[in-house]
Amino acid sequence: MIPQNFKDIISASKEANAMQIIAMLLFMIFFLGVVYLVFNKPKKYYDEQAAAPLADDHEDDKFTFK
C-alpha cells in the first residue's frame, strides 16, 4: 500500500511514540524560550512600542477626505 499522507507514514514506524514525544519536547522548549525572551526584555522597549501609534503625525502623512 502506498502511504497517502504523513499520518500513514508516521504510524507505520515503530518509533511513532518517541517521535511524538520528541516533537512535543521541541515545541515546549521553543515556546518557553520565546516566553523567556519576552519577559526578559526591558520594560522601556515595550513602552516605546506601545506609544508608537500615539506619536505625533506629520502633516503630509495625514489623509483628508472631502
Q: How far apart are CA 29 and CA 11, in angstroms?
A: 24
Phi-psi region of 48 (alpha: psi -120 to 50; beta: other; left: phi over 0): alpha
Mean pLDDT of the chain: 79
Question: Across residues 35-43, what is the average pLDDT?
Answer: 90
- pTM (2 decimals)? 0.55
9-25 residue pLDDT tens: 777 778 878 888 999 99
